[in-house]
Chain A
Amino acid sequence: MIRTDLLSVLMITGVICWGIILPVSASQPQDAIPQTENEIHTYAQQILREEIIRYCQVQYTDAQVSHLSSDQLAEAAENYPEYPRRITDSKNTTITIVHPITRLVAYNSQAIGALDAVDLVVGVANSSLDDAPVLPALETKVNIGGGGPYEPDFEKILSCKPDAILTYTELGPGTDFFEQRVPEGVPVIRLDTIRPKSIVTETNKLGYLLNRTGQAAAYERWHDYWIGEIDRRLATLPADKKVKVFIDIWSDSFTDKNTERRTAGGGQWYSYGMYATDAGGINIAQNISNPQSTVDIEWIAKQNPDVILVVAYEGGLDSENSSILKNAYADLASNPVLNDVSAVKNKRVYVLSYRYTNGLTYPASRARVAKWFYPDLFADIDPSAIHQEYITQFLGSDYNVSRQGAFSYPD
């Protein structure tokens, strides 16, 4: 009898003593990304102070503010001053982590290799295995399925026992799939690392969260060197010499391509339109804004672009040859409506694999496009060599981009 009484008393007391863990989400926008040890420690102090105050406010005043739970605070204090760490991700969500991430499910693994963080990953999307030729360790991870717009297997994600999930802002499953279903306390980090203008910022944020700031900084230096070099050359280009470009978003599954083409306006299709403007061209479809971003093929002929740049959802590191990109080229160049278009007549139709344009290889693909647009201006630049630099320096692979894969066509 006494045993039963004691058990009840102890259970009730245990609940009172140790408290109930409540879900919380701290929020504070943050632009600067800590990179050095001193910056990381300083920011950790700011976050910790803020969270201590918020916690005490709730405990001792009538204030109702979001705050870390007592367990999270204890972990943050235990790992201080390396943690807590906080970013605002590309979905504008504040992500606070209180301990090192060691079990990441990387639905988006674009920057994982360059950050030398494959060892922190336990699960990857099926599409990530396309990078296995340069990151063979990916094949040892749990394949959670899906990739890009396709949903992964949630049970497999749970089986990874993740301490964080990395995914895209728009591409792939939304909040109903991830945020609303993940276990309590597992942050869903949404960073794309595929849009040219945010690659460096997002890589730095991820590097900071994954404790890979050195690698992120090295990438930023490399990225900025080549982007700066391309910018410097393009700055000498007279405005009247700029080529008119049509961006063609090519996919074998797009069935209406004989009569209309998908293109990219200003901010559509993951900023593919920027491949024209970033390389010194004029995007003739800059102002196109219909939801599907499609134009009639006659409209293209009427605009008479100097260059047609095809971004193909094909190719990549694991492609055996560039025949698939050649198909995309032929598909467009052989269309009779475009016979008299300058780009076709002058054989200035070029094809890029989306796996080359999207992601951290951007400086190489931008150099490729710029050289296509202005061969004289970039005569001494070898885009393949830039690509090879990335593969060798950041992925530590002996993969040879000149002999393997399919990244661009015709060169």
Chain B
Amino acid sequence: MRTLLQILRCTDRGILISHPGISVEKRKADHQHQIREAIRIRSRRIWIFPCLLWCVCLLLASPACAAATTEVTRTVTPVSPGAGEAVNVTVIVPPGFIGGIIEELPEGFTYDVATLPKDAVQQNGSTLIIALTGEDRVTYTLHAPASGCGVLTGHWENVKEKTSGTIPETVIAVEGTDSAQCHVPSKAPGFGLTEIAGALLIAVVAVLALGKVRR
């Protein structure tokens, strides 16, 4: 690949690559062949790059990319609670957010109450689902176990924009517990599939493009 690019650059400048010990005719014939090859490859690149650009545009308009522009954050106070102590978790969403916050509670931590009405919160085992209809944040309270630690993971679903993403993990360790032992719950699916699909798209296009160039 690098050689071909070098040829391209050289022919662009009208420079012949010198190869000692080869006849002038042979070198001329090689040079013409190199130019033809370069033009052929260049003509491919002419439509490969717009195609890639189109794919990028498509991704920019896709929910996957929109997801990247939505920032949902979580603050936990305190991150090192005492045994049985209340832990306040605040999730902040961008203005105008309408959708769900899906929090996976660490083992041993129990949900108590949230700042939203009961109909906005649903607990399914260790999964806490909170519906936000314009509120910019929600704070909910957990109670720490006697000992242990865990990782609070979460997702968000913006149903208005049809985007989704993950909320950065937060480690919560009861005082005296080694946080290095924390168990990370497995991820759940959602609109996040679109991000994977987007990444797959880029990878596949890139591989295809490279494959063609090498041929």
Q: Which residues of A pack against B, CB within 8 Å?
A: 1-3, 5-6, 9-10, 13, 16-18, 45-46, 48-50, 52-53, 55-57, 59-61, 63, 70, 73-74, 76-78, 80-81
Contact = CB atoms under 8 A, between A and B. Distances in A.
Interface string B45-60: 0001001000100100
A32 to B, nearest CB: 15
What size tier do the contact residues of chain B reach? 35 or more
Contacts of A2: 48, 51, 208-209, 212
B63 A48 contact: no
A59 B124 contact: no
Given A55-B100, A56-B102, A49 B131 contact: yes
Contacts of B205: 6, 9
Contacts of A73: 159-160
B33 to A, nearest CB: 23
Interface of B: 48, 51, 55, 58, 62-64, 98-100, 102, 119-120, 122, 124-125, 127, 129, 131-134, 155, 157, 159-162, 188-191, 193-194, 196-198, 200-201, 204-205, 208-209, 212
B197 A17 contact: yes
B119 to A, nearest CB: 5
A61 B98 contact: no
Given A9-B204, A52-B131, A63-B124, A78 B197 contact: no
B193 A16 contact: yes
Nearest to B161: A74
Given A52-B131, A57-B129, A77-B98, A17 B198 contact: yes
A10 B193 CA distance: 15
A59 B125 CA distance: 15
Contact of A45 (B58, B133, B188, B189): B133
B188 A70 contact: no
Contacts of B58: 10
B159 A59 contact: no
B159 A52 contact: yes
A56 B162 CA distance: 12
A57 B188 CA distance: 11
Residue of A55, A76, A77 with highest tally of chain B CB at under 10 A: A77
Contact of A48 (B133, B155, B190, B200): B133
A53 B193 contact: no
Contacts of B132: 52
Contacts of B193: 16-17
Given A2-B208, A10-B201, 20 more contacts: A9-B201, A9-B208, A13-B197, A13-B198, A16-B194, A17-B64, A17-B194, A17-B197, A18-B194, A48-B133, A52-B100, A52-B157, A57-B124, A59-B102, A60-B127, A60-B189, A74-B160, A74-B162, A77-B98, A81-B134
